[in-house]
Homo-oligomer: A and B are copies of this chain.
Amino acid sequence: MRAHDFSLPALRLNLNGLVEVLSPTHLYHWDIDSFGAHKQDMNMASIDEFENHVWKDVIPPDDLRLYAPYARQTFVGPSPAFLAIDLYNSAYRGGPRLPVDLDREFPNSCGIYAHRAIEPTKRLFAAARRARLQTFYCTQETRPLNRPHGAYSTRRDLASPISAAELYGIYHEFSPHPSDVVITKQRASVFQGTPFLSHLNLLGIRSLIICGESTSGCVRASAVDAYSNGFHVTIVEECTYDRAELTHKVNLFDLHHKYCDVMHLDEVVQHLDGLAEQRLAPVAE
């Protein structure tokens, strides 16, 4: 069916020199405002579901009314890449317990919140790889002579008995593939002091699908930078976490209204499976 759409010979270049094709594929090259009659072809989340997210139980009704004008359909943007933020060992140390009970022995572990996200994140990785998205990871820079004293992601200066390389290695469930790119950073945002932005431009990436931690730290800083640099951003709710629930929820609320589309795992996986199917479509003769 998609394959059939695909054989339609309807092509031309749009104002930005991007191929325009009258098929769902083509939507990836249109500005959201120019979707017109093609909207129904996309996996977009209904405007009625705009506030159907994890923050529902903490945002006061008056604040939801105040933010009502931000309501819109949410979607995965054109030419997406997949970004997994700070899925390093340190976030999982101590197992699925409350961070407050782990912090003394395992500082900065996300404990239960990290472990709760493992299965959903494995589903997301599988879908992103089926759709052959370029996958980026980021983690802390740990090599020698890499920074002067004081250049840290946050004001918390951690001393640790175990090696930084071990703390900041990617968690075994999400090991990088040879075609992936791992960005090492010294600050919260994956854009700050790294070549990430130039890589996105080089590859023609126009939007990001983001998962990882922490919602209020590296995820928020990276997502705001991505939006402000001109990219569409989708954050996968079930695959994003923090060390405290209120902070997690209020930050997702801020991001969803101001900068990003917070979407549910099922919505994003459905969209990625659509891309995967198209990419497997045989080339017509």
Chain A interface residues toward B at CB < 8 A: 2, 5-19, 21-26, 28-29, 31-33, 38, 41, 58-60, 62-63, 65-67, 69-70, 72, 78-81, 98-100, 103, 107, 131-134, 141, 143, 145-151, 154-156, 176, 178, 180-182, 185-189, 192-206, 216-217, 221, 224-225, 227-231, 243-244, 246-247, 250-251, 253-254, 257-260, 275, 278-279, 281-285
Q: A6-B9, A99-B66, A283-B10 are in contact. Are A230 and B246 (CB under 8 A)?
A: no
Assess whether B254 is in contact with A79, with CB atoms less than 8 Å apart.
Answer: no
- Contact check: which of B26, B150, B221, B258 meets A31 at CB < 8 Å? B150
The answer to whether A11 and B21 have CB atoms under 8 Å apart is yes
Report, nearest first, the 6 A-B pairs whose CB atoms are least far apart.
Answer: A9-B284, A201-B230, A193-B195, A202-B230, A6-B23, A187-B228
- With A2-B22, A6-B25 given, can you name 5 additional A-B contacts, CB distance below 8 Å? A62-B100, A65-B100, A72-B155, A145-B182, A192-B195
Cβ contact within 8 Å between A206 and B201: yes
Q: Which residue in chain B gives the minimum CB-CB distance to A17?
A: B79
Chain B residues contacting A145 (CB-CB under 8 Å) are: 176, 178, 180-182
A80–B17 contact, CB under 8 A? yes
- For A15, list chain B residues within 8 Å (CB): 132-134
Contact of A149 (CB < 8 Å), options: B33, B70, B103, B198: B33
- Chain B residues, Cβ within 8 Å of A185: 195
Known A69-B107, A254-B247, A259-B154; contact A224-B188, beta-carbon cutoff 8 A: yes
**CB distance B279 to A12 under 8 Å?**
yes
Query: Which residues in B have their C-beta under 8 angstroms from that of A28?
Result: 13, 17-19
B8 touches A8 (CB 8 A): yes
A276 to chain B, nearest CB (A): 9
A195 touches B199 (CB 8 A): no
With A10-B284, A246-B63, A275-B13 known as contacts, the answer to whether A151 contacts B199 (CB < 8 A) is: yes
A72 cross-chain contacts in B, Cβ below 8 A: 155
Tell me whether B148 and A204 are in contact (CB under 8 A): no
Give Cα distance in the complex from A180 to B149, angstroms. Answer: 11
B25 and A66 within 8 A (CB): no
A224 and B191 alpha carbons, distance in the complex (Å): 12
Say yes or no: A21-B5 contact (C-beta < 8 A), given A198-B192, A221-B228, A246-B63: yes
